Amino acid sequence: MSGSAAPRFVVAPPQWSAEEYPTLPGSPAKLKHSVRRRVAYCLVAILVGLTGGLGNGLVVANLQAIQGQLGLTTVEAAWLPAVYYMFNMTANLLVFKFRQQFGLRLFAELGLGIYAALAVLHVFVHTFEISLLVRAASGLTAAAATSLGSLYMIQVLPRQKVFSAFIVGMSLSSMAVPLAWVLSPWLVDVSPWPSLYAFEAGLALCCLAAVMLFKLPVGMQVHVFERLDFVTFLLVAPAIALLCAVLVQGVNVWWFDTPWLAWALAGSLLLFALAAVVEWSRQTPLIRLRWLLHPSTLGFALGALVMRFMVSEQSYGAVGLLRMLGMQSDQLQPLYGVILVGMVLGTTLSALLFARERVLWMILISIALISVGGWIDWNSTSLVRPHDFFFSQFLMSVAAALFIGPILISGMVQAISKGYDHIITFVVLFSVTQSLGGVLGPALLGTYQAQRTELYLQAIAAEMPASSAQVAQRLQSQQQAYARVLTDPALQKQAGNAQLAQIVKREAGVRAYNDVFLLIGLMTFSFLGYAVLRQAWLYYQAKVHPIITRTFVYKKIHT
């Protein structure tokens, strides 16, 4: 490790050959395996990687059903995915060092064991408190499962294909979200809603059995934990939790109407500041703030956050519009099947085409695909159905899978060039940008959509005066529609007015979602233009500018 003393081994490592030596402390050795063993490792990687995100995906896909079964309010139901993100982001603070000192296998077995036990308990005890505990355990387990899936996949492919294996392993948890939407209608149709709890518990138990049966090769374990690491963790963990709470609940309770949001945000900033004070003065910090605050690192973080934010058009924009129009999970199933195919294709292309010199082009292509998808969804109407979004969301899913691998590996290589002790900072940075982008996207886009809906409601109401003949005719037709079931004219009029108001609100919502699509399209187009111009400027400085400078200096010397 650059700039640090020789590592203190927890256990003396075996005598590995140069080909078998682990890439990093905490990573397993790269041994030669039989074809049967490689197939087993591949299956375990897929199982563990998908399980890491499938539990939360099932909750998000069936949040309305959970809310109804447990008798929750909208605010209470929103805490379920919020708790998952809280624990998932905070777990990444310690999971890398834990795997370096104790091995990732121990962390995975502990996490999967707790997750499986709580999930099994949830099959028999249907309470809101148990649901929160299961989501917390799911978030902790997902942090280890994502890394574990990558490490298992690395054992499958040759050493020269380690980056491709890493891309596939890291992408598995992202594929779990559309897979959850594809599976949910079938699971609910087979048996009552608690079957989803049993399915989640079964997956956790299968993962625990697979990890214990097909163990990873022994890795290099070194002493890395320090007492102040836990002080930093105890400050940053609640800071992240408070920030997640603000972002998730801001739209539900509204930003300016709920005082506790301001107190939570202030508390989050204070805890982050205290953690920064602790880390800044440490010789071997848990988070290397000086590197984190470097312009190149901040640029990487901003780019990764913006990319994740733009992909939110898929989870919030198109799906949100369809659900507002009354589409249920079984009707959205084909759309998510297309999204899943797109993510598989994007991951495959990313793994096959990845090379250091192609990273920029792969990212630019991803931004272009997101931009095209946003423009295609613009000008939607209340008559759109899931099949109208097949092509645009396919492009979005390909783009989401195409950029994640290159941007992750390029950032990791940049961190390793500064020293292996910078990797934990990068892991935290990347996980926070992706998880925070996933929460920030719906929060900001939801706020924008709500405000635009109110503006369109006012605009439509202004264009529909009660004295208008068209409005009177529409109200009369609405009242006649209820004449067969309501004999009282007053009730007919009341029901007709309510029905017309509902139609107006629907049309205002559709226009607001079109504004969301337009906003995403403009953002991606601007981001793409900035990236192209910046690369052109760097090319000019590297190729053209030195030639002009050398020519000018040569003429000056010889005159």
In whole angstroms, what is the distance from residue 148 CA to residue 171 CA?
Answer: 12
pLDDT attached to residue 487: 63
Rounded to the nearest integer, the mean pLDDT of the chain is 80
Q: What average pLDDT does range 151-171 have in this prediction?
A: 82
**Strand, helix or coil at 9?**
strand
Q: Which of 363, 305, 313 is nearest to 532 (CA)?
A: 363
Which ranges in the chain are annotated with CATH 1.20.1250.20?
21-225
pLDDT attached to residue 67: 80
Q: What average pLDDT does range 150-177 have in this prediction?
A: 83
pLDDT attached to residue 401: 85
Residue 4 has pLDDT above 80, yes or no: no
Q: What average pLDDT does range 239-262 have in this prediction?
A: 87
Tokens 């760097």 appear where?
Answer: 538
Q: What average pLDDT does range 124-129 have in this prediction?
A: 78
In whole angstroms, what is the distance from residue 514 CA to residue 378 CA?
Answer: 5
pLDDT attached to residue 3: 46
Contacts 24+ apart (CB under 8 A), 277-281: 278/228, 278/231, 278/232, 278/235, 279/232
Give me the helices (H) in 313-381, please.
319-324, 329-353, 359-377
Position 3: which residue type?
G
Q: Give helix 194-213 / helix 128-156 axis angle, nearest 10°.
A: 40
Which CATH architecture does the domain made up of 21-225 adopt? Up-down Bundle (1.20)
Q: Tell me which fold the domain 286-525 belongs to.
A: Growth Hormone; Chain: A; (1.20.1250)
pLDDT attached to residue 98: 80
> pLDDT, tens digit, for every residue of 316-366?
888 888 888 888 878 888 999 999 999 999 888 888 887 777 777 888 888
* DSSP for 169-233, written as a single string: HHHHHHHHHHHHHHHHHHHHHHS-THHHHHHHHHHHHHHHHHHHHSPPPPB--B----HHHHHHH
Q: How confident is the model at residue 553 (pLDDT cuts 50, 70, 90)?
A: very low
415 vs 364, which has greater pLDDT?
Answer: 364
In whole angstroms, what is the distance from residue 277 CA to residue 281 CA?
Answer: 7
pLDDT attached to residue 547: 55
pLDDT attached to residue 191: 52
Among 305-309, 343-347, 442-446, the least confident range = 305-309
In whole angstroms, what is the distance from residue 239 CA to residue 266 CA?
Answer: 10
> pLDDT, tens digit, for every residue of 62-120?
887 778 777 888 888 888 888 888 888 888 777 777 877 787 677 777 777 877 787 77
Among 148-162, 216-230, 449-463, 493-507, the least confident range = 493-507
* DSSP for 226-288, written as a single string: -HHHHHHHHHHHHHHHHHHHHHHHHHHH-TTT-HHHHHHHHHHHHHHHHHHHHHHT-SS-SS-
Q: How confident is the model at residue 265 (pLDDT cuts 50, 70, 90)?
A: very high
pLDDT attached to residue 340: 92
Percent of the chain with pLDDT over 90: 6
Among 2-6, 24-28, 112-116, the least confident range = 2-6
DSSP strand E in 124-240: where?
none
Q: How confident is the model at residue 559 (pLDDT cuts 50, 70, 90)?
A: very low
**CA angle, 134 as apex, 128 and 136 as ends, to 5°?**
105
Q: Which of 204, 62, 197 is nearest to 142 (CA)?
A: 204
pLDDT attached to residue 202: 85
The tokens describing 497, both together, are: 């007015």
Q: Which of 298, 276, 281, 291 is nearest to 425 (CA)?
A: 291
